[in-house]
Amino acid sequence: MSFRILRSLCKSNCCTRRLSTIPNKSTTLKKFNFPVQKHSFKYINENLDKYINKKQSKITLNGHIHKKSRIRPTLSFGFIRDKDGNVIQFVVNENSQNNVLETLKKLTVEESISITGHIQQKVLTDGESAKWELVVEDLQVLNESNIDAPRLDKLKHSNPEELPPQFRYLQLRTSFFQNALKVRSKISQLVRNLLIDKYDFTEIETPLLFKSTPEGAREFLVPTRSSNQFYALPQSPQQYKQILMSSGFTKYFQIAKCFRDEDLRSDRQPEFTQIDLEMSFVNSSKQVMTVVEDIILNIWEKIKVKPMYALNEKNYLEKITSNEDRLKFKTLTYKEALEKYGIDKPDLRYNLEFINLNKYFTAMENENFPIVEICVLKRAFIPGIAKRTKIPPCLGNKLEYKRRRPYIFTIDNETDKTSWIDLLIKKNFMKQNENSKRSTLLKELNLQPGDIIGVSTRSELPYENPTPLGKFRQLAIKNYPNNSQRPIQEDGEMTWFYPVENVTVGSWVVDFPLFDPVEIKEDDETMKPYPTYDFNKFESTHHPFTMCKSEDYGYLESDPLKVRGEHYDLVINGVEVGGGSRRIHDPTLQQYIFENILKISNWELKFGHLIKALSMGCPPHAGLALGFDRLCAMVIGSSSIKDVIAFPKNQSGVDKVVDSPTPVSKDTLKEYFIEVNEEK
C-alpha cells in the first residue's frame, strides 16, 4: 500500500468530525429496528428443499457487504458475508421494493445490512459452493461504512494480514481470522471439559495484582497512591497455585493471563495466556505429563483433526494411536538434546543429528569449549553450478547467531571432502589427534558433492543454548524443509517424502540442570565470541521452586551445577509449548536454596508468604503451564501468535487500535509519586 493511501487513511477517521446537530431521528432509529436472522447458512443448506423456490418462505440474512455490487438494468447482484464468513449472493430484480435497487447502488463494502427475501436455485460457477441465492424483497442498511473500507478492500481479499494494524477489526472480519479465534474458543472449551469432567480439576482464578518477585523476565509494575508501594502483574500464577496446593485443592487449573515486559517476537506478547495446572500428592512427574499429553492428543484429534506422531525406538516417526494410560511422546534428556541437536527444543521431524569429532580432533580455541562437532546437511544443492556452491546467506548470516557462527563449508567435489579439515587446522581451530585416520572419518561422515556442513565447538554441558550448530540446524530446517526428513512408519510401510507441515511430532525434554552459572555480561556482547560465566554465582534454570532429582540431592551442598532438576518441557515441532516441574514442598529445603545457593538476601520479603504456606502441611505437588497462544497458532498452522489474539501488540508493545500505551498527565502522576524525566 502506498504512503499516500496510508496517510489519507489516517486522516479519514470519521469519529474526529465535529457534529453541530443531532443526527436525523427517523434515519438513525431505523438502524436499531430490523428483522432477526433465524436461519444459518448451514441450516439452509441442510434443509434446502423446504425453502427453494418457495416465495412464501421468507428468509432474513444479516451481515456485511463482502464486495462491490453489480448493478444491471434488469437484474443486479450483491454479496453478503455472514457471521461465519460464508459469502452468499443476493439478487435484486423488478419484484423487489422500489427503493431496494436505489439502496443497493449506494452500498459500499463492509457496510452492515439486513436483507429479506426468498431462496431460488443458483447456477454454480467456478469456485462457488452455495447452491442457492436470495432474491431480495427488502434491504435495510444498519450502518454505513466510511471511505477507508473501499480503499482497503483489495488488500482485504489478497493479503488481509497486511491491513494496517489500526484496522484490526477489518482483519478480524475475514474468514482466516474468524476461524482462528473460533478455533481458540473451541480449544479452551475442550480443555475445560477435559480437565473438569475427566480429571476432576477445579478452575480457580488467581489475582492479577501481585507483588514484585525475581522470577526471570522483567515485570510490569503497577503504581499505587501509597509512596513507593507497587503491585506487579504476574509473570505466571506460580506462587498462588502452590499456595492453593496448601489450601486443600488437589487439582487446580485456570486459563490465565500473564505479563512479561520483554522484547517482542512473533511468538511473544507483553500479555499472553497459558493453561496453568497443578496437582498435589504427586510422586512422579509422569502423572502431570500424562494429563498434558491427553490434552494435546484430544486437541489434535478433535479440533485440528490430524494425527500426532512420536519418535519410536528405531528413530522413525510413528502415528500415536494407543489409548493406553502411559506416556507416548519421546523423552529426551537435556544433555541428549544438546548433544544431538544443539538446543533444548529440537524439531524431531528432521533426522539432522550432530556427530562428535573428538576421537579425531582436539579443540584449540577455548578450553572451556572442548567438544568439536559437525552437522551434515545432505543434498542441499546441485554440485558443479557456481552460484549453488557458495555458502547460502540464510545459513551464514552473522545476524542470525547470538555470538559466534559455526564454520560452514559446501562440498562441491572430491577435494572439498577433506579441504575443510586442513583449513580449520591452519586456523588453529582444532588439531588432529594422533593415530586418528581421515579415511575412517570420511567413511563415518559419508560426505557427497551437494552437501553443506557446519563445524563448531561447545562445552561439556552446554549453558550456551542454542549452540552455534543448534542455530545452524534451525536455519537449515527452515530453509531446506525437504532435506533430512525422518521416515514415517505406518503398518510396516515406510514413507520418506511427505508434506512436513502436515506432520506434528511431540516430545518431552527432561533432566535440565537445576542451576546455571551466572553469565558475565559485557557492554558489547557481539564482540565476545564465547560466553563467559561466574561459576561461583548461580541462577535457577527455570524458577527457584523446582525440586532436584533425588539421586543428585547431595550435590546441592557440594556442587550445585551438577544437580539436575525434575523439570519437563513439552516440545512440538521445535516449539516449546509448555514447561513444568515437581515443586519443593519442604519449607526448609526451599529456604536453603533461597539463602545458600541463590543467595537471595531479602528472600523473606520476596517469598516469605510461600514459605509460610509450605510450612502448614503443604502436600507434595507438581504442575505445568502450556502456552495457550502458541498452541492455538500451531493448530491453525500459523507461526505467529498474533493470528490467534484478537488485539495483539506490535513489536513496540503498542496496540494500534486504541493507541495504547498513552502519556498520563503530571497531576495524575503526582498522585502516584511518579515524576517523568522529560530530558530522557
10 Å Cβ neighbour count for 248? 9
8 A C-beta contact, residue 490 and residue 503: no
Residue of 608, 616, 578 whose CA lies nearest to 591: 608
| 582/200 Cα distance (integer angstroms) | 20
| 284/281 Cα distance (integer angstroms) | 9
Q: b/e for 34-72, b at 16 or more Cβ within 10 A? A: beebebebeebeeeeeebbeeeeebbbbbbbbbeebeee
Check residue 10 and give its pLDDT.
47
Grid cell digits, residue 273: 495466556
Helix or strand holding residue 405 (H, E): none
Cis before 150 (ω within 30)? no
Q: State whether residue 29 is helix, strand or coil.
A: helix
Check residue 244 and give its pLDDT.
97
Check residue 84 and give its pLDDT.
83
- State the amino acid at position 541 in one-letter form: T
**Phi and psi torsions of 10, nearest 5°:** -65, -30
Instruction: Say whether pTM exceeds 0.85.
Output: yes
Q: State whether residue 62 is helix, strand or coil.
A: strand
Which segments in the chain show pLDDT lower than 50?
Answer: 1-7, 10-12
**Mean of per-residue pLDDT scores for the chain:** 90
Overall CATH class of domain 28-145: mainly beta
| 117/325 Cα distance (integer angstroms) | 55
> What tens digit of pLDDT does each residue of 61-71 get?
999 999 888 88
Burial of 130 (0-12, 13-18, 19+ CB in 10 A): middle
Has domain 352-484 been given CATH number 3.30.1360?
Answer: yes
Grid cell digits, residue 124: 454454480
Burial of 584 (0-12, 13-18, 19+ CB in 10 A): buried
CA dihedral 73, 75, 77, 82 (to 10 degrees): 140
So where are the chain's domains? 28-145, 352-484
Residue of 324, 208, 329 whose CA lies nearest to 572: 329
Q: Where are the beta strands (DSSP E) in 173-260?
A: 202-203, 221-223, 230-232, 251-259
8 A C-beta contact, residue 456 and residue 469: yes
Strands 221-223, 271-280: pairing is: unpaired
- State the amino acid at position 558 in one-letter form: S
> What tens digit of pLDDT does each residue of 528-583 get?
789 999 999 999 999 999 999 999 999 999 999 999 999 999 999 999 999 999 99
Q: First and final CA of the chain: distance in angstroms?
A: 35
Q: Give the long-range contacts of residues 525-533, CB within 8 A, separation 24 or more.
A: 525/402, 525/403, 526/403, 528/403, 529/403, 529/404, 530/365, 530/366, 530/368, 530/369, 530/403, 530/404, 531/403, 531/463, 531/464, 533/463
